[in-house]
Structure 1
Amino acid sequence: MKRYDNLFFDFDGTIMDTSEGIFRSFDYALESFGMEKPGPEVYKTLIGPPLIDSFRNAFGFNEEKARLGVKRYREFYAPKGLYMVSVYEGLESSLSALAESGRNLYVATSKPEIFARELLDKHNLLKYFKMAGGSDTDEKRVKKQDIIRYVMEKCGIASGENCLMIGDRKYDAEGASKAGMDCLGVAWGFAEPGELTESGCIAVAETPDSLPSVIKSLESGS
Protein backbone atom coordinates (compact mmCIF):
# COMPACT_ATOMS: atom_id res chain seq x y z
CA MET A 1 0.00 0.00 0.00
CA LYS A 2 1.37 3.40 -0.98
CA ARG A 3 1.73 6.08 1.68
CA TYR A 4 2.13 9.77 0.98
CA ASP A 5 4.49 10.80 3.76
CA ASN A 6 5.15 14.28 2.35
CA LEU A 7 2.27 16.56 1.38
CA PHE A 8 2.97 19.73 -0.60
CA PHE A 9 0.22 22.36 -0.52
CA ASP A 10 -0.36 25.16 -2.97
CA PHE A 11 -1.48 28.40 -1.29
CA ASP A 12 -3.82 30.62 -3.36
CA GLY A 13 -7.06 28.77 -3.98
CA THR A 14 -6.01 25.80 -1.85
CA ILE A 15 -5.28 27.06 1.67
CA MET A 16 -6.79 30.54 1.42
CA ASP A 17 -9.19 32.44 -0.80
CA THR A 18 -6.96 35.32 -1.83
CA SER A 19 -9.03 36.49 -4.78
CA GLU A 20 -10.18 39.91 -3.55
CA GLY A 21 -6.68 41.19 -2.87
CA ILE A 22 -5.33 39.76 -6.12
CA PHE A 23 -8.15 41.21 -8.23
CA ARG A 24 -7.80 44.66 -6.68
CA SER A 25 -4.02 44.58 -7.13
CA PHE A 26 -4.44 43.83 -10.84
CA ASP A 27 -6.96 46.69 -11.04
CA TYR A 28 -4.43 49.04 -9.47
CA ALA A 29 -1.61 47.96 -11.78
CA LEU A 30 -3.64 48.16 -14.98
CA GLU A 31 -5.14 51.53 -14.04
CA SER A 32 -1.60 52.87 -13.62
CA PHE A 33 -1.01 52.04 -17.31
CA GLY A 34 -4.32 53.61 -18.36
CA MET A 35 -5.72 50.21 -19.32
CA GLU A 36 -9.24 48.86 -19.00
CA LYS A 37 -9.87 46.40 -16.17
CA PRO A 38 -10.98 43.01 -17.57
CA GLY A 39 -12.69 41.90 -14.36
CA PRO A 40 -12.85 38.81 -12.11
CA GLU A 41 -13.40 36.15 -14.79
CA VAL A 42 -10.10 37.04 -16.47
CA TYR A 43 -8.26 37.66 -13.21
CA LYS A 44 -9.32 34.26 -11.88
CA THR A 45 -7.34 32.55 -14.65
CA LEU A 46 -4.22 34.44 -13.56
CA ILE A 47 -4.12 32.94 -10.07
CA GLY A 48 -1.52 30.19 -10.12
CA PRO A 49 1.09 31.03 -12.74
CA PRO A 50 4.04 33.33 -11.97
CA LEU A 51 2.89 36.94 -11.77
CA ILE A 52 5.31 38.15 -14.41
CA ASP A 53 3.94 35.54 -16.84
CA SER A 54 0.43 36.87 -16.27
CA PHE A 55 1.45 40.37 -17.33
CA ARG A 56 3.28 39.02 -20.37
CA ASN A 57 0.74 36.47 -21.57
CA ALA A 58 -2.61 37.97 -20.57
CA PHE A 59 -1.87 41.63 -21.25
CA GLY A 60 0.82 41.43 -23.94
CA PHE A 61 3.50 43.22 -21.95
CA ASN A 62 7.14 42.94 -23.02
CA GLU A 63 9.72 41.90 -20.43
CA GLU A 64 10.47 45.41 -19.18
CA LYS A 65 6.83 46.43 -18.95
CA ALA A 66 5.90 43.12 -17.30
CA ARG A 67 8.46 43.72 -14.56
CA LEU A 68 7.04 47.21 -14.06
CA GLY A 69 3.57 45.65 -13.93
CA VAL A 70 4.69 43.34 -11.12
CA LYS A 71 6.13 46.35 -9.28
CA ARG A 72 2.88 48.33 -9.62
CA TYR A 73 0.82 45.29 -8.59
CA ARG A 74 2.83 44.94 -5.39
CA GLU A 75 2.48 48.64 -4.59
CA PHE A 76 -1.13 47.81 -3.73
CA TYR A 77 -0.75 44.17 -2.78
CA ALA A 78 1.98 44.44 -0.13
CA PRO A 79 0.28 47.02 2.13
CA LYS A 80 -3.38 46.17 1.42
CA GLY A 81 -4.23 43.31 -0.93
CA LEU A 82 -2.15 40.75 0.95
CA TYR A 83 -4.54 40.88 3.90
CA MET A 84 -7.78 40.53 1.93
CA VAL A 85 -7.96 36.77 2.49
CA SER A 86 -9.92 34.07 4.25
CA VAL A 87 -8.98 30.50 5.17
CA TYR A 88 -11.24 27.95 3.49
CA GLU A 89 -13.72 26.45 5.94
CA GLY A 90 -12.63 23.00 7.10
CA LEU A 91 -9.05 23.42 5.89
CA GLU A 92 -7.43 23.82 9.30
CA SER A 93 -9.06 20.70 10.70
CA SER A 94 -7.67 18.75 7.74
CA LEU A 95 -4.19 20.17 8.25
CA SER A 96 -4.34 19.19 11.92
CA ALA A 97 -5.53 15.66 11.15
CA LEU A 98 -2.92 15.12 8.45
CA ALA A 99 -0.10 16.39 10.67
CA GLU A 100 -1.29 14.23 13.57
CA SER A 101 -1.24 11.18 11.27
CA GLY A 102 2.54 11.51 11.08
CA ARG A 103 2.79 13.10 7.66
CA ASN A 104 5.08 16.00 6.83
CA LEU A 105 3.30 19.07 5.46
CA TYR A 106 4.91 21.72 3.26
CA VAL A 107 3.79 24.74 1.26
CA ALA A 108 5.02 25.15 -2.33
CA THR A 109 3.55 28.31 -3.84
CA SER A 110 4.31 30.76 -6.62
CA LYS A 111 3.40 33.51 -4.13
CA PRO A 112 6.50 35.21 -2.70
CA GLU A 113 7.67 33.18 0.27
CA ILE A 114 7.69 36.15 2.62
CA PHE A 115 4.00 36.82 1.90
CA ALA A 116 2.96 33.18 2.28
CA ARG A 117 4.75 32.83 5.60
CA GLU A 118 3.26 36.07 6.91
CA LEU A 119 -0.29 35.00 6.10
CA LEU A 120 0.16 31.50 7.49
CA ASP A 121 1.55 32.96 10.70
CA LYS A 122 -1.19 35.60 10.94
CA HIS A 123 -3.89 32.91 10.65
CA ASN A 124 -2.10 30.50 13.02
CA LEU A 125 -1.47 27.89 10.32
CA LEU A 126 2.32 28.05 10.06
CA LYS A 127 2.64 25.55 12.92
CA TYR A 128 1.34 22.73 10.71
CA PHE A 129 4.09 23.03 8.11
CA LYS A 130 7.69 21.84 8.16
CA MET A 131 8.47 24.54 5.60
CA ALA A 132 6.59 27.18 3.65
CA GLY A 133 8.43 27.69 0.38
CA GLY A 134 7.58 30.17 -2.34
CA SER A 135 8.99 32.34 -5.07
CA ASP A 136 11.72 34.88 -4.50
CA THR A 137 10.91 38.56 -4.86
CA ASP A 138 13.33 39.10 -7.76
CA GLU A 139 11.30 36.64 -9.89
CA LYS A 140 14.10 34.10 -10.43
CA ARG A 141 12.43 31.16 -8.63
CA VAL A 142 8.86 31.29 -9.90
CA LYS A 143 8.00 28.08 -11.79
CA LYS A 144 6.04 25.56 -9.71
CA GLN A 145 8.45 22.69 -10.37
CA ASP A 146 11.39 24.85 -9.26
CA ILE A 147 9.59 25.80 -6.05
CA ILE A 148 8.69 22.17 -5.31
CA ARG A 149 12.30 21.11 -5.90
CA TYR A 150 13.53 23.99 -3.75
CA VAL A 151 11.40 22.77 -0.83
CA MET A 152 12.49 19.17 -1.41
CA GLU A 153 16.16 20.16 -1.40
CA LYS A 154 15.82 22.32 1.71
CA CYS A 155 14.04 19.51 3.57
CA GLY A 156 16.24 16.63 2.42
CA ILE A 157 13.60 14.90 0.29
CA ALA A 158 15.49 12.99 -2.39
CA SER A 159 12.55 11.61 -4.37
CA GLY A 160 8.95 12.49 -5.14
CA GLU A 161 7.86 8.86 -4.85
CA ASN A 162 6.09 9.23 -1.49
CA CYS A 163 5.10 12.86 -2.07
CA LEU A 164 1.76 14.37 -3.05
CA MET A 165 1.15 17.87 -4.38
CA ILE A 166 -2.24 19.34 -3.44
CA GLY A 167 -3.46 22.27 -5.51
CA ASP A 168 -6.25 23.94 -7.44
CA ARG A 169 -4.68 24.66 -10.86
CA LYS A 170 -3.04 22.84 -13.75
CA TYR A 171 0.25 24.50 -12.82
CA ASP A 172 0.30 22.43 -9.63
CA ALA A 173 -0.22 19.18 -11.55
CA GLU A 174 2.37 20.09 -14.18
CA GLY A 175 4.93 21.14 -11.58
CA ALA A 176 4.31 18.01 -9.54
CA SER A 177 4.80 15.79 -12.58
CA LYS A 178 8.11 17.47 -13.42
CA ALA A 179 9.22 16.98 -9.80
CA GLY A 180 8.30 13.28 -9.94
CA MET A 181 5.23 13.29 -7.69
CA ASP A 182 1.46 12.79 -7.93
CA CYS A 183 -1.00 15.67 -7.67
CA LEU A 184 -4.38 15.79 -5.93
CA GLY A 185 -6.62 18.53 -7.28
CA VAL A 186 -8.97 20.58 -5.11
CA ALA A 187 -12.34 21.76 -6.39
CA TRP A 188 -12.75 24.89 -4.24
CA GLY A 189 -10.10 27.03 -5.94
CA PHE A 190 -9.77 28.78 -9.28
CA ALA A 191 -9.57 25.98 -11.87
CA GLU A 192 -11.63 26.06 -15.04
CA PRO A 193 -14.12 23.17 -15.54
CA GLY A 194 -12.24 19.99 -16.39
CA GLU A 195 -8.84 21.59 -15.89
CA LEU A 196 -7.69 19.40 -13.02
CA THR A 197 -8.43 16.01 -14.54
CA GLU A 198 -7.14 17.09 -17.95
CA SER A 199 -3.85 18.22 -16.41
CA GLY A 200 -3.19 14.82 -14.82
CA CYS A 201 -4.47 15.05 -11.25
CA ILE A 202 -4.99 11.53 -9.89
CA ALA A 203 -8.18 12.63 -8.07
CA VAL A 204 -10.06 15.78 -7.06
CA ALA A 205 -11.10 16.56 -3.47
CA GLU A 206 -14.45 18.34 -3.42
CA THR A 207 -14.22 20.03 0.01
CA PRO A 208 -11.38 21.03 2.35
CA ASP A 209 -12.59 18.76 5.15
CA SER A 210 -12.49 15.74 2.84
CA LEU A 211 -8.72 15.87 2.30
CA PRO A 212 -7.72 13.25 4.92
CA SER A 213 -10.26 10.71 3.68
CA VAL A 214 -9.43 11.30 0.01
CA ILE A 215 -5.72 10.83 0.66
CA LYS A 216 -6.35 7.63 2.62
CA SER A 217 -8.49 6.37 -0.24
CA LEU A 218 -5.71 7.06 -2.73
CA GLU A 219 -3.23 5.20 -0.55
CA SER A 220 -5.44 2.15 -0.26
CA GLY A 221 -6.21 2.15 -3.97
CA SER A 222 -9.95 2.34 -3.41
Structure 2
Amino acid sequence: MKKFDTVLFDFDGTVMNTNEVILRSWQHTFQTIENREEDEAKIIATFGEPLDVTMGKFFPDMPRDEAVEIYRSYHRDNFGDLITVFPGMKELLAEVKIRGYKTGLVTSRLLHTTQQGLEKYELKDYFDVVVTAEDTEKHKPDPEPVNIALEKLHSLPGNSIMLGDTMFDILCAKNAGVTSVLVGWSLALKSGDDFGEDTPDHVIKTAAELLELL
Protein backbone atom coordinates (compact mmCIF):
# COMPACT_ATOMS: atom_id res chain seq x y z
CA MET A 1 0.00 0.00 0.00
CA LYS A 2 1.16 3.53 -0.80
CA LYS A 3 2.94 5.35 2.01
CA PHE A 4 1.16 8.55 2.94
CA ASP A 5 2.51 11.31 5.17
CA THR A 6 -0.05 14.04 4.39
CA VAL A 7 -3.84 14.12 4.71
CA LEU A 8 -5.92 16.91 3.19
CA PHE A 9 -9.57 17.54 4.01
CA ASP A 10 -12.34 19.49 2.34
CA PHE A 11 -14.49 21.51 4.78
CA ASP A 12 -18.13 21.68 3.63
CA GLY A 13 -19.79 18.29 3.43
CA THR A 14 -16.63 16.47 4.51
CA VAL A 15 -15.49 17.67 7.92
CA MET A 16 -18.41 19.96 8.67
CA ASN A 17 -22.07 19.33 7.95
CA THR A 18 -22.99 22.68 6.43
CA ASN A 19 -25.66 21.23 4.13
CA GLU A 20 -28.60 22.83 5.91
CA VAL A 21 -27.17 26.33 6.13
CA ILE A 22 -26.11 26.22 2.47
CA LEU A 23 -29.51 25.02 1.27
CA ARG A 24 -31.35 27.58 3.42
CA SER A 25 -29.06 30.37 2.21
CA TRP A 26 -29.78 29.50 -1.40
CA GLN A 27 -33.53 29.26 -0.84
CA HIS A 28 -33.45 32.64 0.91
CA THR A 29 -31.62 34.05 -2.12
CA PHE A 30 -34.14 32.60 -4.58
CA GLN A 31 -37.05 33.87 -2.47
CA THR A 32 -35.54 37.34 -2.28
CA ILE A 33 -34.65 37.66 -5.96
CA GLU A 34 -37.32 35.57 -7.70
CA ASN A 35 -39.98 35.01 -5.01
CA ARG A 36 -39.70 31.24 -5.32
CA GLU A 37 -37.78 28.24 -4.07
CA GLU A 38 -35.41 26.24 -6.25
CA ASP A 39 -35.33 22.46 -6.57
CA GLU A 40 -32.90 21.17 -3.93
CA ALA A 41 -31.29 18.73 -6.36
CA LYS A 42 -30.23 21.63 -8.60
CA ILE A 43 -28.66 23.40 -5.63
CA ILE A 44 -26.92 20.27 -4.38
CA ALA A 45 -25.43 19.75 -7.84
CA THR A 46 -23.47 22.99 -7.32
CA PHE A 47 -22.00 21.97 -3.95
CA GLY A 48 -18.25 22.55 -3.92
CA GLU A 49 -18.29 25.23 -6.58
CA PRO A 50 -17.15 28.76 -5.63
CA LEU A 51 -20.17 30.87 -4.66
CA ASP A 52 -19.45 33.61 -7.19
CA VAL A 53 -19.43 31.11 -10.06
CA THR A 54 -22.71 29.46 -9.03
CA MET A 55 -24.36 32.82 -8.47
CA GLY A 56 -23.56 33.81 -12.04
CA LYS A 57 -25.23 30.65 -13.33
CA PHE A 58 -28.38 31.00 -11.22
CA PHE A 59 -28.84 34.77 -11.61
CA PRO A 60 -27.02 35.89 -14.78
CA ASP A 61 -29.00 39.12 -15.03
CA MET A 62 -28.49 40.17 -11.41
CA PRO A 63 -25.45 42.25 -10.36
CA ARG A 64 -23.15 39.59 -8.96
CA ASP A 65 -22.15 41.47 -5.82
CA GLU A 66 -25.77 42.17 -4.88
CA ALA A 67 -26.80 38.53 -5.29
CA VAL A 68 -23.78 37.31 -3.33
CA GLU A 69 -24.53 39.70 -0.47
CA ILE A 70 -28.13 38.44 -0.21
CA TYR A 71 -26.78 34.91 0.18
CA ARG A 72 -23.94 35.82 2.51
CA SER A 73 -26.00 38.01 4.82
CA TYR A 74 -28.34 35.10 5.59
CA HIS A 75 -25.40 32.71 5.74
CA ARG A 76 -23.48 34.86 8.25
CA ASP A 77 -26.51 35.31 10.49
CA ASN A 78 -27.34 31.61 10.66
CA PHE A 79 -24.04 29.79 10.09
CA GLY A 80 -23.10 29.14 13.71
CA ASP A 81 -26.50 27.69 14.61
CA LEU A 82 -26.89 25.37 11.63
CA ILE A 83 -23.56 23.54 11.41
CA THR A 84 -22.33 20.35 13.04
CA VAL A 85 -19.29 18.07 12.70
CA PHE A 86 -19.94 14.83 10.86
CA PRO A 87 -19.95 11.72 13.12
CA GLY A 88 -16.48 10.38 13.86
CA MET A 89 -14.67 13.24 12.13
CA LYS A 90 -13.28 14.93 15.23
CA GLU A 91 -12.01 11.57 16.50
CA LEU A 92 -10.44 10.89 13.09
CA LEU A 93 -8.67 14.25 13.05
CA ALA A 94 -7.32 13.66 16.53
CA GLU A 95 -6.01 10.20 15.61
CA VAL A 96 -4.41 11.42 12.39
CA LYS A 97 -2.53 14.06 14.36
CA ILE A 98 -1.49 11.56 17.04
CA ARG A 99 -0.03 9.34 14.32
CA GLY A 100 2.08 12.25 13.07
CA TYR A 101 0.56 12.96 9.68
CA LYS A 102 0.77 16.43 8.21
CA THR A 103 -2.72 17.84 7.75
CA GLY A 104 -4.36 20.53 5.67
CA LEU A 105 -7.83 21.95 5.13
CA VAL A 106 -8.56 22.92 1.52
CA THR A 107 -11.86 24.74 0.99
CA SER A 108 -13.62 27.04 -1.47
CA ARG A 109 -15.21 28.79 1.51
CA LEU A 110 -14.05 32.20 2.78
CA LEU A 111 -11.72 32.35 5.77
CA HIS A 112 -14.12 33.97 8.26
CA THR A 113 -16.79 31.27 8.34
CA THR A 114 -14.17 28.54 7.98
CA GLN A 115 -12.50 29.78 11.15
CA GLN A 116 -15.88 30.19 12.83
CA GLY A 117 -16.67 26.53 12.27
CA LEU A 118 -13.23 25.32 13.32
CA GLU A 119 -13.29 27.39 16.49
CA LYS A 120 -16.84 26.44 17.47
CA TYR A 121 -15.98 22.75 17.45
CA GLU A 122 -12.36 23.14 18.56
CA LEU A 123 -10.90 21.73 15.35
CA LYS A 124 -8.41 24.47 14.52
CA ASP A 125 -5.40 22.77 16.10
CA TYR A 126 -5.92 19.63 14.02
CA PHE A 127 -4.83 21.39 10.81
CA ASP A 128 -1.27 22.46 10.05
CA VAL A 129 -2.43 24.66 7.17
CA VAL A 130 -5.75 26.07 6.01
CA VAL A 131 -6.26 27.10 2.37
CA THR A 132 -9.46 29.04 1.60
CA ALA A 133 -10.91 30.76 -1.46
CA GLU A 134 -9.03 33.91 -0.47
CA ASP A 135 -5.67 32.16 -0.83
CA THR A 136 -6.12 31.13 -4.47
CA GLU A 137 -6.68 32.73 -7.85
CA LYS A 138 -7.97 29.48 -9.31
CA HIS A 139 -10.38 27.21 -7.46
CA LYS A 140 -11.38 23.55 -7.41
CA PRO A 141 -11.31 21.54 -9.63
CA ASP A 142 -8.11 23.36 -10.61
CA PRO A 143 -5.20 21.86 -8.63
CA GLU A 144 -3.99 25.24 -7.33
CA PRO A 145 -5.65 25.01 -3.87
CA VAL A 146 -4.13 21.59 -3.22
CA ASN A 147 -0.78 22.64 -4.67
CA ILE A 148 -0.68 25.60 -2.27
CA ALA A 149 -1.42 23.33 0.69
CA LEU A 150 1.26 20.84 -0.35
CA GLU A 151 3.82 23.62 -0.81
CA LYS A 152 3.11 24.99 2.67
CA LEU A 153 3.35 21.49 4.16
CA HIS A 154 6.51 20.61 2.17
CA SER A 155 4.67 17.51 0.96
CA LEU A 156 4.73 15.57 -2.30
CA PRO A 157 1.53 14.73 -4.22
CA GLY A 158 2.44 11.05 -4.35
CA ASN A 159 2.56 10.87 -0.55
CA SER A 160 -0.69 12.74 -0.02
CA ILE A 161 -4.35 11.81 0.20
CA MET A 162 -7.44 14.07 0.14
CA LEU A 163 -11.00 13.59 1.38
CA GLY A 164 -13.90 15.35 -0.29
CA ASP A 165 -17.61 15.14 -0.97
CA THR A 166 -17.98 16.68 -4.43
CA MET A 167 -16.58 16.17 -7.91
CA PHE A 168 -14.74 19.48 -7.47
CA ASP A 169 -12.76 17.90 -4.61
CA ILE A 170 -12.10 14.63 -6.40
CA LEU A 171 -10.90 16.35 -9.58
CA CYS A 172 -8.84 18.88 -7.63
CA ALA A 173 -7.02 16.01 -5.94
CA LYS A 174 -6.59 14.07 -9.18
CA ASN A 175 -5.38 17.12 -11.09
CA ALA A 176 -2.75 17.66 -8.39
CA GLY A 177 -1.63 14.02 -8.46
CA VAL A 178 -3.03 13.37 -4.98
CA THR A 179 -4.92 10.20 -4.02
CA SER A 180 -8.65 11.02 -3.89
CA VAL A 181 -11.18 9.77 -1.36
CA LEU A 182 -14.94 10.26 -1.60
CA VAL A 183 -16.76 10.36 1.73
CA GLY A 184 -19.86 8.18 1.93
CA TRP A 185 -21.92 10.86 3.66
CA SER A 186 -21.81 13.14 0.61
CA LEU A 187 -25.09 14.69 -0.53
CA ALA A 188 -23.64 15.59 -3.91
CA LEU A 189 -22.20 12.21 -4.91
CA LYS A 190 -23.04 8.58 -4.24
CA SER A 191 -20.59 5.68 -4.24
CA GLY A 192 -22.68 3.84 -6.83
CA ASP A 193 -22.61 6.73 -9.33
CA ASP A 194 -20.91 6.22 -12.66
CA PHE A 195 -17.89 8.53 -12.52
CA GLY A 196 -16.23 7.26 -15.68
CA GLU A 197 -12.59 8.32 -15.84
CA ASP A 198 -13.12 10.52 -12.78
CA THR A 199 -13.78 7.66 -10.36
CA PRO A 200 -12.37 8.42 -6.88
CA ASP A 201 -9.42 6.29 -5.87
CA HIS A 202 -11.25 5.25 -2.70
CA VAL A 203 -14.68 5.57 -1.08
CA ILE A 204 -15.11 5.44 2.69
CA LYS A 205 -18.43 4.89 4.45
CA THR A 206 -17.30 6.17 7.86
CA ALA A 207 -14.62 8.60 8.99
CA ALA A 208 -12.72 5.84 10.79
CA GLU A 209 -12.27 3.91 7.53
CA LEU A 210 -9.68 6.45 6.44
CA LEU A 211 -7.27 4.97 8.99
CA GLU A 212 -7.33 1.69 7.06
CA LEU A 213 -6.10 3.50 3.95
CA LEU A 214 -3.29 5.20 5.86
TM-score, normalized by length of structure 2? 0.88
Residue 173 of structure 2 corresponds to 176
Q: Secondary structure at the match of 1:70?
A: helix
Q: Is the 8 A contact 2:173 2:179 kept in 1?
A: yes
Question: Superposed, which structure 2 residues align to 1:130-209 within 5 Å?
Answer: 130-136=128-134, 140-144=137-141, 145-157=143-155, 159-193=156-190, 194-195=192-193, 197-198=195-196, 199-209=198-208
Note the alpha carbon deviations across 1:111-135, whole angstroms, 9 max, x for none.
1122212211110111111012111
Q: Distance in 1 between matches of 2:186 and 2:206?
A: 10
Deviation at 1:41, TM superposition (A): 2.5
Note the alpha carbon deviations across 1:11-41, whole angstroms, 9 max, x for none.
1111111011111111222222124211432
Closer/same/farther in 2, CA of residues 111 and 196 from structure 1, 3 Å limit:
farther
Q: What letter corresponds to residue 84 of structure 1 in structure 2?
A: L
Alignment RMSD (CA, Å): 2.2
Q: Is the 8 A contact 1:83 1:119 kept in 2?
A: no
> Unaligned stretches of 5+ in structure 1?
217-222
Structure 1 residue 32 corresponds to structure 2 residue 29: no
Closer/same/farther in 2, CA of residues 141 and 70 from structure 1, 3 Å limit:
farther
Q: Secondary structure at the match of 2:34?
A: coil
Q: Secondary structure at the match of 1:2?
A: coil
Residue 219 of structure 1 corresponds to none
Q: Is the 8 A contact 1:160 1:181 kept in 2?
A: yes
Q: Distance in 2 between matches of 1:94 and 1:101?
A: 11
Q: Distance in 2 between matches of 1:96 and 1:180?
A: 26
Deviation at 1:60, TM superposition (A): 5.0
| Higher deviation after alignment, 48-57 or 191-200 | 191-200
Q: What letter corresponds to residue 212 of structure 1 in structure 2?
A: L
Structure 1 residue 97 corresponds to structure 2 residue 81: no
Q: What letter corresponds to residue 107 of structure 2 in structure 1?
A: T
Aligned residues: 211
TM-score, normalized by length of structure 1? 0.85
Deviation at 1:79, TM superposition (A): 2.2
Q: What letter corresponds to residue 23 of structure 1 in structure 2?
A: L
Deviation at 1:141, TM superposition (A): 4.7
Q: What letter corresponds to residue 52 of structure 1 in structure 2?
A: D
Q: Secondary structure at the match of 2:158?
A: coil
Note the alpha carbon deviations across 1:21-70, whole angstroms, 9 max, x for none.
1111112222221242114322222221111222233x2525x6334322
| Higher deviation after alignment, 196-205 or 123-132 | 196-205
Structure 1 runs of 4+ off > 4 angstroms? Answer: none
Q: Distance in 1 between matches of 2:205 and 2:93?
A: 16
> Unaligned stretches of 5+ in structure 2?
none
Q: Distance in 1 between matches of 2:31 and 2:59?
A: 15
Deviation at 1:82, TM superposition (A): 4.8
Q: Distance in 2 between matches of 1:30 and 1:181?
A: 37
Q: Is the 8 A contact 2:89 2:207 kept in 1?
A: yes
Q: Distance in 2 between matches of 1:105 and 1:151?
A: 9
Q: Distance in 2 between matches of 1:142 and 1:41?
A: 23
